[in-house]
């Protein structure tokens, strides 16, 4: 009965996936209008646009929860994906990856079909895209964290030269566009929000939320308090820059202190066996060549 149930379950998944790929009437009309209005250059775009459209159709029909939507949207923004359809594409990618792994293990491609392994692969395929997204967000936050020291130096110079904080942020974003594109992009968004009429405190808080970097959140809090109490922005930035460099040095010292512990496992697994073979191997061979003839002669 297990193969029969596996066949029924797999058939149902295939039909569900095919139904999810069917375009709705509104989507078909919208796609037809886009085809009529596209220019020749847009028509010659790579074919991966059709794959993205397929993922969007699958993601629109994927089950979602309100809490998961908020967390995933924030994680996508922190990873650098700010487009409106990024969340839908992510859900479609998650569903497609899960069904692909299930199909691979439920068929005879990698060996004998196993429904339990296929179900495990289905769950793993649902989890892996979230883990990859968290990894991307963490790497982007690390790159932004490394660029904060240079940003603060330029910001101090710009403010002390007579620029206001808004103009200084814009100028620093332009200067860092080549070396640190992620941070430059975030500063450009602050400038756009300020031009749109948002208060400076709200725009700075949005910067902290979009990046997820603790040091940048502390900088935003300091700038908001400086603006509220009317203290010197240049002096506050200089003090915070020194504090940030101290924290970076402490992190480097902490990482150096952890190196000895992290080297234990490579030493034990990779280096010590080779040392034992080199040091004890010749003695063991000599021992065997001398002892075995003596044992046989004694017999």
Q: What does the block give as tokens for 71? A: 């967390």
pLDDT value of residue 25: 58
By CB neighbour count within 10 A (0-12 exposed, 13-18 middle, 19+ buried), where does 220 fall?
buried
Distance CA 58, CA 19 (A): 9
Instruction: Give the closest residue to 173 by CA, choosing from 181, 162, 164, 163.
Output: 181
Percent of the chain with pLDDT over 70: 79
Q: What is the mean pLDDT of residues 130-149?
A: 90
Q: What does the block give as tokens for 251? A: 């992190």
pLDDT value of residue 41: 43
| Number of C-beta neighbours around residue 104 at 10 A | 14
Whether residue 26 is predicted with pLDDT greater than 80 in this model: the reply is no
141-260: CATH topology? Receptor-associated Protein (1.20.81)
pLDDT value of residue 136: 92
Highest-scoring range by mean pLDDT, 14-18, 46-50, 134-138, 263-267: 134-138
Instruction: Break the chain into its structural domains and give their ranges.
Output: 2-138, 141-260
Distance CA 193, CA 197 (A): 7
End-to-end Cα separation, the chain, in angstroms? 63
Q: What is the mean pLDDT of residues 215-232?
A: 87
Q: What is the mean pLDDT of residues 201-209?
A: 90
In the structure, what pLDDT confidence band is assigned to residue 282 with cuts at 50, 70 and 90? confident
DSSP 209-220: HHH--HHHHHHH
Backbone angles phi, psi at 213, to 5 degrees: -100, 130
Distance CA 293, CA 40 (A): 87
Does residue 112 or residue 264 have the better pLDDT? 264
Instruction: Give the closest residue to 17 by CA, choosing from 42, 54, 50.
Output: 54
Distance CA 3, CA 118 (A): 12
Distance CA 53, CA 210 (A): 26
Whether residue 15 is predicted with pLDDT greater than 80 in this model: the reply is no
Does residue 298 or residue 129 have the better pLDDT? 129
Whether residue 225 is predicted with pLDDT greater than 80 in this model: the reply is yes
pLDDT value of residue 139: 92
Distance CA 20, CA 24 (A): 10
Distance CA 145, CA 142 (A): 5
pLDDT value of residue 91: 85
Rg (CA), the chain: 29
Global pTM reads 0.71
Tell me the CA distances in angstroms from 203 to 145, 261, 277, one per residue in order. 19, 42, 63
For the chain, give the mean pLDDT.
Answer: 80
Task: Give the helix/strand (H/E) hosting 33.
Answer: helix 25-37
- Tens digit of pLDDT for each residue in 75-119? 888 888 888 788 888 888 888 888 888 888 777 666 677 778 888
Q: What is the mean pLDDT of residues 192-221?
A: 89
pLDDT value of residue 24: 57
């Amino acid at each position: 009965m297990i193969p029969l149930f596996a066949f029924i379950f797999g058939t149902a998944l295939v039909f569900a996936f095919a139904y999810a790929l069917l375009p709705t009437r509104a989507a078909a009309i919208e796609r037809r209008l886009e085809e009529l209005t596209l220019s020749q250059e847009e028509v010659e775009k790579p074919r991966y646009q059709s794959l993205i459209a397929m993922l969007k159709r699958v993601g629109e029909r994927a089950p979602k929860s309100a809490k998961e939507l908020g967390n995933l949207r924030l994680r996508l923004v922190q990873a650098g994906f700010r487009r409106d359809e990024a969340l839908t594409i992510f859900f479609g990618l998650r569903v497609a990856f899960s069904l692909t792994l299930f199909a691979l293990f439920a068929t005879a491609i990698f060996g004998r079909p196993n429904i339990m392994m296929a179900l495990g692969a289905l769950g793993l395929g649902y989890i892996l895209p979230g883990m990859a997204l968290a990894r991307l967000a963490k790497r982007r936050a690390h790159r932004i964290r490394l660029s904060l020291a240079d940003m603060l130096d330029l910001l101090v110079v710009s403010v002390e030269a007579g620029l206001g904080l808004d103009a200084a942020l814009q100028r620093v974003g332009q200067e860092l566009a080549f070396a640190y594109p992620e941070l430059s992009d975030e500063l450009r968004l602050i400038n756009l929000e300020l031009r749109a009429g948002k208060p400076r405190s709200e725009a700075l808080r949005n910067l902290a939320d979009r990046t997820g970097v603790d040091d940048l959140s502390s900088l935003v809090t300091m700038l908001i308090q400086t603006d509220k109490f009317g203290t010197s922005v240049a002096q506050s930035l200089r003090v915070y820059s020194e504090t940030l460099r101290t924290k970076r040095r402490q992190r480097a010292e902490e990482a150096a202190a952890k190196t000895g512990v992290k080297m234990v496992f490579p030493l034990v697994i990779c280096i010590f066996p080779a040392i034992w073979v080199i040091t004890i191997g010749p003695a063991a061979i000599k021992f065997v060549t001398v002892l075995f003839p003596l044992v046989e002669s004694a017999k």
